[in-house]
Chains A and B, each alone.
Chain A
Amino acid sequence: MADTARDAPPEQTDFHELEDGEELFPEPATTQESQPASLAAEDISTNSNGPKQDSLFDDDPEDLFAEATEEVSLDSPERDVLLSDGPSPAITPITPPTSVITPRIGHTHDDMFTHSSFDEIEEEEGGDSFDIHISVSDPEKVGDGMNAYMAYKVTTKTSISLFKRNEFAVKRRFSDFLGLHSKLASKYLHIGYIVPPAPEKSIVGMTKVKVGKEDQSSNEFVEKRRSALERYLMRTVKHPILLKDPDVLQFLESSELPRAVSTQALSSAGLLRMVNKAADAVNKMTIKMNESDAWFEEKQQHFENLDVQLRKLHTSVESLVCHRKELSVNTAQFAKSAAMLGNSEDHTALSRALSQLAEVEEKIDQLHQDQANADFYLFSELLGDYVRLLTAVKGVFDHRMKTWQKWQDSQMLLQKKREAEAKLQFTNKPDKLQQAKDEIKEEIEELEGKVQQGERDFEQISKTIRKEVSRFEKERVKDFKTIIIKYLESLVQTQQQLIKYWEAFLPEAKAIS
């Protein structure tokens, strides 16, 4: 199921050359799983650079998914995932995205390490110097009948040297986007990163397009989707970790992308996903975690409330869009009616004035239409995006719970083994005793390792979530503010137009004598 060309060495080495902190993993054997997350500042020391990570990542490729959480879709290429699992943003010199990537050797490298904490680097990244812009455009229907699909042009403009060029474009279809999300989700969700969700599938919408209905509603559908895909990509690349993921880079850059078949709604993989999700839900209900950290409880509650509020807001905005469209239609109808009235009026000046009124109302109807679009595209879609994002956020908290559970399970198992060990002392079979003792000792050692790992994983995911949440909240406020400003600016324009129209009409009305 190697549906990505990630084995292409040039890309990998390109990527890994730049990642120079990755060799600093203290315990290669058992810490694969937590590689990306454990790159806390503390772990980093000014060690040698150099691309040693290839060998590093080759160790224990299986181990990562030995106890895979249910979230990992079984069709994703786990092995390859491991290899690109290593985004170690903490120490990479790439971090200030605007600056051209400087060679990690020498002074710059030392400078990097003087402030190599994740937090500080993240602050740099989070600044306004983020320089990548993606646009999704030119939807084009490819093929015929039920096998037809829409191809979109994805254009990237950037000065980040992660990319081979400053400006480039590729053609992608909807399932490619879903495939990308699926890969990112399987890699990052379970370690606490908030992966932006992909736009929703729509069987009805797509069928209309396939069947070739070239009407208003299918055009609207395509535009809605195009816009959603663009927002999805922008959100994904805004995330400092995800930006550097090889799957993302490949998605944006490479001209050929193997089809992500497992994203089809009715595929066996899809069904498996649904089954796993159901199993999840049951498991979630049975985990009772001793929350030692009030922050998490508080935040979870906060997100619950936010979810409720945003959904309510979303509903109101959708209602507004609907009424505004109605208003536009009714205004147009009134305009026609006023024109008719003007025609039958036998006083000349009044007749003319009424016709002018009809014209004004017609123009206003167009304004309403534009306003409804603004309401929709700026507001309603934004709210929809955030409602879906919150699901991802809640998912990340759930993963933390599962990580805790895993740790607790290991601990319990260890406890049992220790008890078993103690019991061994009282066996009456001396010949078997030594063998059994050795066995148990081995098992206990292994379990002790697992427990430690479990604890570390839990701490790591907790840490990651804190940062992710802080980032998410900042982004949310910024996002909303930007959209509101855009929206208000569109309203300002509307008012200015209205003033023009009525100022033109007033003398006509006054001219009635």
Chain B
Amino acid sequence: LSAPAPRAVNVDLQTDAMLQVDISDALSERDKVKFTVHTKSTLPNFKQNEFSVVRQHEEFIWLHDSFVENEEYAGYIIPPAPPRPDFDASREKLQKLGEGEGSMTKEEFTKMKQELEAEYLAIFKKTVAMHEVFLCRVAAHPVLRKDLNFHVFLEYNQDLSVRGKNKKEKLEDFFKNVVKSADGVLVAGVKDVDDFFEHEKTFLLEYHNRVKDASAKSDRMIRSHKNAADDINRIASSLYTLGTQDSTDLCKYEQMLSLNLTWSCLHKIEARIAADEDLKLADLLKYYLRESQAAKDLLYRRSRALVDYENANKALDKARAKNRDVLQAETSQQLCCHKFEKISESAKQELIDFKTRRVAAFRKNLVELAELELKHAKGNLQLLQGCLGILKGNT
């Protein structure tokens, strides 16, 4: 299963003529997806102006983690990693359908199969889009786009030999996260002198939680919509069966068929609405859930640096008082000071950019959502009025 290059980009980006990245193709094999990453660039570091490589999800994660672990990038919002492609649910449904083939009519089976295949395709397109967005964000960032690992990722046409984390490494990660969140709580308690950052901290905390909630609720809403659409699909098949069974009276047959047509239309209506909401609303919220987390991580790193700086100050005072290891303490203090100031400077800009991006993305998606809903409602209205015309005229 392969999809043409998707253009559903959730985040509004400024494309730079010097470096353009996209995912031009993707292939879904048994349990992995292979993305074709295509680059166009006039940067001197690259051997060619245009080239492509094949990458898998683990390699994206490797790239993201290398950014996070790089001290130099502590002052930036690291673009959130794309979520792992998850076809499990869809595959399970397809399998169940195959098992239950005997218990339903051919009509029903074909319909359900089409439905599930469409769902699979939708999930596929989405994962491609999310991986692409990640790359585009990196390419648009003035500092990250120059990262060496990024260039290797884009250009090196062999396997990066990045294996997925083994159990030990996963466990290490887990503990790191525990420590980090505990630390985060401690650090969050530190009141910031700078009003801007204090405000941002409060804002981000609340915003992140609310986006999480909204994301969960929108998922639930969309799932209900899909369930209703599935029911309607089943009803349409039943009506079709009734219509074809009832073929003794031609008039009745026609009626049943137009009924089936009506219900098939209704199904399309509900399915489309669910899909639109999913794309424009749910995905948007999910993305900003991840981005706001990345922003929080930045603030955490800054607070951490602040605490380190303050500790270094105290240590320096102590050293001066005891007149011991003063030089060492001075160097350490200077390093902390420098680190803190560097982070603070870039963090401010990053957070301002974050807001700009966020507002632009919401605007784009909300406008598109409203336009799509309108377009479909108008189309559906026409469809329904058409069906009504047939039924009413068909006495």
Contacts and interface: CB of A to CB of B under 8 A. Distances in A.
A41 B186 CA distance: 98
A485 B211 contact: no
B213 A337 contact: yes
A330 B355 contact: no
A499 interface: yes
B5 to A, nearest CB: 27
Contacts of B231: 316-317, 319-320, 323
Interface residues of B, number: 56
A344 B207 contact: yes
B217 interface: yes
B373 interface: yes
B366 A337 contact: no
B239 interface: yes
B17 to A, nearest CB: 26
B384 to A, nearest CB: 5
A312 B242 CA distance: 11
A488 B384 contact: yes
B255 interface: yes
Given A319-B231, A341-B211, A499-B374, A357 B262 contact: no
B371 interface: yes
A473 interface: yes
Closest 8 CB pairs of A and B: A327-B224, A320-B231, A512-B363, A509-B366, A330-B221, A334-B217, A323-B227, A337-B214
Nearest to A510: B367
B211 to A, nearest CB: 6
Given A334-B220, A344-B207, A347-B359, A485 B391 contact: yes
Given A353-B363, A502-B374, 14 more contacts: A313-B238, A316-B231, A316-B234, A316-B235, A317-B235, A319-B234, A330-B217, A330-B224, A333-B221, A345-B207, A350-B359, A353-B366, A506-B370, A509-B370
B230 to A, nearest CB: 8
28 contacts: A309-B245, A312-B238, A313-B242, A316-B231, A317-B231, A323-B227, A323-B231, A327-B224, A327-B228, A330-B217, A330-B221, A333-B221, A334-B220, A341-B210, A349-B359, A353-B362, A357-B366, A473-B252, A477-B255, A480-B259, A484-B262, A485-B388, A489-B388, A491-B384, A502-B370, A503-B374, A509-B366, A512-B362
A499 B218 CA distance: 21
Nearest to A503: B374
Interface in A308-346: 309-310, 312-313, 316-317, 319-320, 323-324, 326-327, 330-331, 333-334, 336-338, 340-341, 343-346
A473 B211 CA distance: 55
Contact of A320 (B232, B242, B262): B232
A488 B388 contact: yes
B295 to A, nearest CB: 13
A300 to B, nearest CB: 14
A327 B374 contact: no
A149 B374 CA distance: 49
A344 B210 contact: yes
A130 interface: no
A512 B246 CA distance: 56
Contacts, number: 152
A216 interface: no
A496 interface: yes
Contacts of A141: none
Contacts of A350: 358-359, 362-363
Given A340-B214, A495-B384, A323 B228 contact: yes
B296 to A, nearest CB: 14
B217 A337 contact: yes
Given A309-B245, A347-B355, A488 B391 contact: yes
Nearest to A340: B210
A327 B225 CA distance: 6
B266 interface: yes
A309 B241 contact: yes
A485 B355 contact: no
Contact of A492 (B210, B217, B249, B388): B388
Contacts of A65: none
Contact of B391 (A337, A354, A473, A481): A481
B202 to A, nearest CB: 10
B387 interface: yes
Contacts of B248: 302
B377 A498 contact: yes
Nearest to A338: B214
B233 to A, nearest CB: 9
Nearest to B387: A488
A225 B181 CA distance: 57
B380 interface: yes
A353 to B, nearest CB: 6
Given A320-B228, A320-B232, A323-B227, A495 B377 contact: yes
A488 B203 contact: no
A505 interface: yes
A114 interface: no
Given A350-B359, A512-B363, A344 B245 contact: no
A305 interface: yes
B359 A334 contact: no
Nearest to B388: A488
B362 to A, nearest CB: 6
Contacts of B8: none
Contacts of B224: 323, 326-327, 330-331
B392 interface: yes
Interface in A434-481: 473, 477, 480-481
Contacts of A484: 259, 262, 391
A128 to B, nearest CB: 10
Interface in B247-269: 248-249, 251-252, 255, 259, 262, 266
Contacts of B206: 344
B235 A512 contact: no
B311 interface: no
A313 B217 contact: no
